[in-house]
Amino acid sequence: MKRISSVSEDTEFTFNPLIVLELAKKTQNETIEWLTQRIKERKHLGGAHLKIKPLDAHTKNSQIFLIGASWRRLLVGAEALGLVKEYQDGSMRAFIYQNKEDYKYFSDNNDDFLTMAEQQYIIKRELENLRAINETMVPGYPQAKLYPGKSIIRRLQTSGLLLQIYPLHNKTELKKLGTIWYKRLQVALQPLNDIENYFGQNIALYFAFLEYFTIALFPMALIGVPYYFFAWEDYDKYIVFATFNLLWSTIVLEVWKRWCAKLSYQWGTLLMKRQFEEPRPGFHGKLGLNPVTGRKEPTYPTYKRQLRIYLISVPFVCLSLYISLFVMMIYFQMEALALAYSKEDQSFFSSILLYCPSIIYGVVIEIMNRLYKYAAEWLTSWENHRLESSYQNHLILKVLVFNFINCFASLFYIAFILQDMKLLRQSLAALLITSQILNQFVESVLPYWLQKRRNRILKKKFHISSLEKELPLVDQVKLEREMDKYLGTFDDYLELFQQFGFVSLFSCVYPLAAILAVLNNITEVYTDGLKMCCVFQRPFFEPVSDIGVWLLAFETMGIISVMTNCALIGMSPQVKRLFQRNDVELVLLVLAIEHVLLALKFILAFAISDVPSDIRTKVARMEFESLKALKQKQMKEADESMAKEEQLDETKREQEEKKKI
Amino acid sequence: MKRISSVSEDTEFTFNPLIVLELAKKTQNETIEWLTQRIKERKHLGGAHLKIKPLDAHTKNSQIFLIGASWRRLLVGAEALGLVKEYQDGSMRAFIYQNKEDYKYFSDNNDDFLTMAEQQYIIKRELENLRAINETMVPGYPQAKLYPGKSIIRRLQTSGLLLQIYPLHNKTELKKLGTIWYKRLQVALQPLNDIENYFGQNIALYFAFLEYFTIALFPMALIGVPYYFFAWEDYDKYIVFATFNLLWSTIVLEVWKRWCAKLSYQWGTLLMKRQFEEPRPGFHGKLGLNPVTGRKEPTYPTYKRQLRIYLISVPFVCLSLYISLFVMMIYFQMEALALAYSKEDQSFFSSILLYCPSIIYGVVIEIMNRLYKYAAEWLTSWENHRLESSYQNHLILKVLVFNFINCFASLFYIAFILQDMKLLRQSLAALLITSQILNQFVESVLPYWLQKRRNRILKKKFHISSLEKELPLVDQVKLEREMDKYLGTFDDYLELFQQFGFVSLFSCVYPLAAILAVLNNITEVYTDGLKMCCVFQRPFFEPVSDIGVWLLAFETMGIISVMTNCALIGMSPQVKRLFQRNDVELVLLVLAIEHVLLALKFILAFAISDVPSDIRTKVARMEFESLKALKQKQMKEADESMAKEEQLDETKREQEEKKKI
């Protein structure tokens, strides 16, 4: 843990800067003073009780501030957020300040107990929870209205006064992490715990999923290679492959849930109570009362949102799907042209030309995906969802539907309408490879190269020789200020989702898909790691215990893949030969198999417990103990007050009897 | 609330008998004294702090005891069990003794605050929680071993010393309930809240489901009647009917979830925390440690249970299914014989004979169902499940699979193998009507008649003229002691499950099914009500918030009915005529429709929220407030201890500085 002691300026305490707050240039002094005051104020006076210092004390009107807190304040914050820590007996428990000595790794002079990422998260949440008391506006900005209970930071953000708020990197730790993560070529698993330590559970879970998924692809890849080389034209064999595929996709997702539960138990998020969800920053509406909290907050009528969704968003999605299908039909025309040309002119050039339409279509698909995503983000934001989770769900649904149709419609068309297995294989290969190359380029190589260029400029600006070295704090802050914001794991999961589709929907016709996916994912680990560490600002820690709605998306894809694979089996020449005369019987048989497999899938999903039994026992023990403790306390109080009341009754009765006498 | 003041015997308190404990005749005095002592002892001394009195103080060696408690003790017990009561502001909250004044309907001199059923439940749970401290055996019975933490009542039950334990009826309330429930023929909903008050949520939810399901059948019944009369031989029209059926079954179950949530919120069980589940009474094994509670309890290795399940139970179920199918084949032979005979000899007698095989088969099915259920109960109990819930799930699964095959296999065979719609209709009608008549007879008429006969004998024995009147307590206790135990809602739900199958699987070929089901259910309400009130001992209250695994069973039936109805549509002559030449296309189309409908079903189930939004808001507000209160308390404590520690540090530093000087 880095500590920058600023003893010269302030002998009272050591100040450990954790996050950076950048205000707009024009911000008035009055506002800054008020904000500083509110941040420093003690909790019971309505403040956040944090430490704040201008980055550069010498220049007046500084707009960049560093925020930190005493280690005791951070511990209290950890309790407030319900962070879960390892207890002395090895179990995981919600941290309680008064029992701090009972937690493993805790010692009075050691602030490694909370990781830097956790400390930054605590400060961020405390800042967000800093609420207006009786201010009606931000001092100096009458148009930035406040009302009791309104988050001050959110208002500053929406009124453009707060430009950005980001946690600081820790160069030493980052270098250590990089060395064991992506800087060496090695056959080893990723240092997931270190990633979790530095970036938080959200990002660590993505990398865990990426790693898990890649390893899960190994058997598919291993079986795929001999298929590819020895049975190139022998479509018949893919019955075995398709069946394997089916079982594989089901079991992989079930086992992932268990692995995910294990990780999130270990990282403390499985036991973390869900925090009450605040309205998302962009949410606006008439000021009203929240029926749950009773607090003042903006309200927006549901019917208006529904109108926006059904009258604008749904038609927009349908139109986009239509355009996507239209582009697909153009692709098939191009394909036909290319085929006709190559039949006429059988040169080397024409055989390459044969692949061109697929590659062009692949590029167009990627472009359309990206354009659509911007539109979907804008639309979903315009729908004005109250909660971030609801916003995310609507966004993911929009994007997934489009992505699915956009990426796979042509394959479905080739497989089931044209029934051309050769074209299907060729098209699948072209789409898969194109999308992987494009993704690698756009997501990692491009930002890395842009960053390199920017770093060169920055180096000149700050007169430094290397960015890897420990820099003076002022330079570090200014450097990280220029970096891009990491926009979350959405794109990364989406990429895996597409890949899962390519691998499971039709992979029996192109068994190399799995091995291509494995190779892509191995490089993806390195490029994503590099991206996280060097290209972006450090992201804030997000405590999550699973991959959320993505799991549902993957499971849906699994169900669809059962159907496509069954259909492929039914269409295979070998099977068709068996039922030469009676097509109806064949279709009914395939149908029966499909239903049995789907039923099996549901039974498997139901029978395999989502949480391993040892974790379940641990969680149950924890809950049992805390419940018992609570109950005992309650019961003792109730018993005592009952005894007291009974005694009172007794005395009263005695007095009455005395009176009678 | 009935109060029997026994002032003459005991001037200190009024004793309100709530439940009855009947020990074996031979029980030794030593044991009785010890038990009485433990039940009376105060809580902190390890007792149950209840009141206990022999039924007949004049005869020595009485084996029947009455148990009651002071109203304060009952309130404390209500808190311990987490009972939920209406708060002053109309919200539902877990009862807390110290805040008792803040609950609606609470007043010091009023013990209607807790219903009699709740009081009996509290006493039962307190008795079950009476645990051995350092006894190693039941005094007087060295073979009845005890160990610290073992429930005393359970040991007395398993060692045969405790014959029965039952709550007392309240004749006045019962009569009132009977009048508004089943004694008048009326067009009105059942008095669900009164049923809940008297019998508890478990039974009230069954009656609520029965009522809901019957009302939900109304549209089906209304549409069914004209179909039956005007389109008797016109199978074509059932496409519309089948489609309606599909949507109906999905929506009905989704809306039930919401209605159920509403009821259980109102009855306080939606918010009730799940209690920690103790091993079921019949569970036995080597004494070990429970990994969750750390308490001593019997343990039984999972692999042994698995062996029993897979080596004995599963083969047994398969064998039973085989026998059931074998019986079905005999039925078809009988059917063929009857048909042949009626063709030869076309008399009135032979046309009646035509229905005989179906009726006989219907009776045989019911007999096999009942025999199988006994076997399944014995087997599941032999599997030695630790928890009652696990026992129930295994039992329900066994029974459901067999019932489904046993009741519906012949219909499936007729519909899809023989494709004989006329026979299907005839068979369905015969099965449905036979099973309804048999059920009504076995479940209600027979027990009621037996009870009447027994009552006549009892009347003579106790020299009373009417059982309806208020009896002396001693007689009432002895009378109820002779009554049968109510064995739970299992059979009642099973009957509804079968009915749901008859209505939804093939009802389009026999549209009268729905109206028959409605008529049956209306009489069922009356006979079941009568049965609950007059035939059985009062059952103990069971707080449940939904119908549990039965909902899953109904949902599965709904999914299967989508498939059967789609297949029936595909097989209808009208549709077949449309696709005269191309059977494959027809099958594929039906297949596509089925998939779309199933997808729609899942989307509907996902989109319709299981809990109505107003209940969700109330629950969220309750949780938010209790969380806020807890957090505020915690934070205040943490803040204070932090401030104290900081001050200490300060003092230390000052002292050090002074030393330096």
Q: Does A416 touch chain B (CB under 8 A)?
A: no
A556 to chain B: closest CA residue:
B599
Half-sphere exposure of A397 (CA within 13 A, CB side): 13
Provide the pLDDT confidence category of residue B439 given band limits of 50, 70 and 90.
confident
Look at residue A374 in the predicted model and tell me its pLDDT: 93
Mean pLDDT computed over A573-590: 78
* A128-132, A354-358, A378-382, A544-548: least confident range: A354-358
Closest CA in chain A for residue B618: A292
Nearest to B639 among A44, A583, A638 (CB): A44
- Measured between alpha carbons, how far is residue A551 from residues A34, A257, A558, B368, B608 in Å? 45, 9, 10, 44, 20
Q: What are phi and psi of A485, to 5 degrees?
A: -85, 140
Compare all CA atoms of chain B with the CA of A617 and give the residue at the minimum distance.
B292
Mean pLDDT lowest for which of A315-324, A439-448, A490-499, B66-75?
A: A439-448
A76–B293 CB contact, under 8 Å = no
pLDDT at A11: 36
Residue B641 contacts A where some CB pair is shorter than 8 Å = yes
Please check the confidence at residue A467 and state whether its pLDDT lies above 60.
no
Output the pLDDT for position B236. 59
Q: Do B624 and A276 touch (CB under 8 A)?
A: yes
Alpha carbon distances (Å) from A363 to A275, A337, A428, A430, A517: 42, 19, 13, 10, 18
| ipTM of predicted complex | 0.81
Output A182 or A205, whichever has higher pLDDT. Answer: A205
Kindly tell me if the per-residue pLDDT of A7 is higher than 50: no
> What is the per-residue pLDDT for A61?
59
Q: How many CA atoms lie within 13 A of B61 on its CB side?
A: 5
Q: What is the pLDDT of residue B483?
A: 82
**pLDDT over 70 for what percent of chain A?**
93
CB-based contact B641 A98, cutoff 8 Å = yes
**Mean pLDDT value across residues A243-251:** 80
In chain B, the residue whose alpha carbon lies closest to the alpha carbon of A650 is B12
Average confidence score pLDDT of chain A: 85
Residue among B75, B291, B624 minimizing CB distance to A292: B624
B583 interface with A at CB cutoff 8 Å: yes
Q: What is the mean pLDDT of residues A144-164?
A: 88
Residue A77 has pLDDT above 80, yes or no: yes
Mean pLDDT along residues B382-402? 91
Residue A355 has pLDDT above 90, yes or no: no
Mean pLDDT across B394-398: 92
Write the Ramachandran bin of A60: left for phi over 0, alpha for psi from -120 to 50, otherwise beta: beta
In whole angstroms, give the CA distance from residue A554 to residue A537. 30
- Confidence band for B445, pLDDT divided at 50, 70 and 90: confident
Residue A554 confidence (pLDDT)? 93
Range B23-29, long-range pairs (CB < 8 A, 24+ positions) = B23/B63, B23/B64, B23/B65, B23/B156, B23/B161, B23/B162, B23/B163, B24/B63, B24/B160, B24/B161, B24/B162, B24/B163, B25/B63, B27/B63, B27/B140, B27/B161, B28/B139, B28/B140, B28/B141, B29/B61
What average pLDDT score do residues A109-131 get?
86
Instruction: Give residues with Cβ within 8 angstroms of A46, minimum separation 6.
Output: A38, A131, A133
Task: Find the farthest-apart pair of alpha carbons in chain B and give their distance in angstroms, rounded.
Answer: 128
Test B292 with A563 for CB contact under 8 angstroms: no
Give A646's contacts in chain B (Cβ within 8 Å): 70, 72
Shortest Cα–Cα distance, A599 to chain B (Å): 11
Give me the pLDDT at residue B292, please. 83
Query: Six-digit token pair at B540?
Result: 């103990």
Q: What does the pLDDT average to over B628-645?
A: 84
Q: Are B29 and B52 in contact (CB under 8 A)?
A: no
Would you state the pLDDT for residue A120? 92
* Alpha-carbon distance values, A399 to A213, A317, A320, A417, B298 (Å): 22, 9, 11, 26, 53
> Tokens representing A501?
């589709």
Q: How large is the average pLDDT for residues B220-239?
A: 70
Report the pLDDT averaged over residues B249-259.
Answer: 90
> B599 in contact with A at a CB cutoff of 8 Å?
no
Is the entire prediction scored with pTM above 0.90? no
B287 interface with A at CB cutoff 8 Å: no
Nearest Cβ partner for A292 among B80, B293, B617: B617
Query: In which band, very low, low, confident or very high, does the pLDDT at A609 lie, cut at 50, 70 and 90?
Result: confident
In terms of average pLDDT, the best of B372-376, B491-495, B547-551 is: B372-376
| Average pLDDT score over residue span A325-352 | 86
Q: DSSP state, B102?
A: G
Q: pLDDT category, B237, cuts 50, 70, 90?
A: low
pLDDT surpassing 50 at residue B230: yes
pLDDT confidence of residue A284: 85
Contact criterion met (CB < 8 Å) for B624 and A293 = yes
pLDDT of residue B653: 85
- Whether B631 shows a pLDDT value over 70: the answer reads yes
Dihedral pair phi/psi, residue B297, rounded to 5°: -165, 165
| Residue A188 structure tokens | 């080893």
Dist. CA B473–CA B475, nearest whole Å: 5
Alpha-carbon span B562 to B246, nearest angstrom: 6
The highest-confidence range among A525-529, B180-184, B319-323, B385-389, by mean pLDDT, is B319-323
Asked if the Cβ–Cβ distance from B634 to A591 is below 8 Å, we say no
pLDDT exceeds 70 at position B5: no
Quick one: pLDDT at residue B88? 87
DSSP-derived 3-state class of residue A387: strand
Q: What are phi and psi of A540, to 5 degrees?
A: -70, 145
Strand partners, A54: A65
Mean pLDDT calculated for residue range A3-14: 42
The Cα B564–Cα A473 span in angstroms is 72
A49, HSE (Cβ side, Cα atoms, 13 Å) = 17
Mark yes or no for CB contact A97/B638 under 8 Å.
yes
**Section A639-645 average pLDDT:** 85
What is the pLDDT at residue B39? 92
Average model confidence (pLDDT) across chain B: 85
Handedness of CA B439, B444, B445, B450 (dihedral sign): positive
CB contact (8 A) between residue B645 and residue A72: yes
**For chain A, the helix, strand and coil percentages under 3-state DSSP, each to the nearest 5:** 65, 5, 25
Determine the pLDDT at residue B403.
Answer: 93
Mean pLDDT confidence for B505-524: 86
Evaluate if residue A1 carries a pLDDT over 50: no
Model confidence pLDDT, tens digit, residues A200-235: 999 999 999 999 999 999 988 888 777 777 765 565
Residue A10, pLDDT score = 39
Q: Averaged over B525-529, what is the pLDDT?
A: 86
Residue A274 confidence (pLDDT) above 90 = no
Q: pLDDT band for position B466 (50/70/90)?
A: low
Residue B10 has pLDDT above 60, yes or no: no
Q: What is the pLDDT of residues B180-226, one digit of tens each?
A: 888 777 777 889 999 999 999 999 999 999 999 999 999 888 887 77
Give residue A238's pLDDT. Answer: 65
Cα A136 to Cα A143: distance, rounded to the nearest angstrom: 10
Task: Say which residue, A392 or A57, is predicted with more confidence.
Answer: A392
Q: Judge whether B553 and B401 are in contact, CB under 8 Å.
A: no
Q: What percent of chain A has pLDDT over 90?
A: 25
B536-545, pLDDT tens digit by residue? 889 998 888 8
CB burial of A115-131 (b: ≥16 within 10 Å; e: otherwise) equals bbbbbbbbbbbbbbebb
Choose from A43, A109, A576, A648 for mutation: most chain B CBs within 10 A: A43
Q: Which of A446, A549, A436 is nearest to A498 (CA)?
A: A436
CA pair distance A325, A340, nearest whole angstrom: 23
Residue B409 has pLDDT above 90, yes or no: yes
Establish if B44 touches chain A: CB-CB under 8 angstroms.
Answer: yes
What pLDDT is recorded for position A244?
78
Q: Is the pLDDT of residue B657 over 70?
A: yes
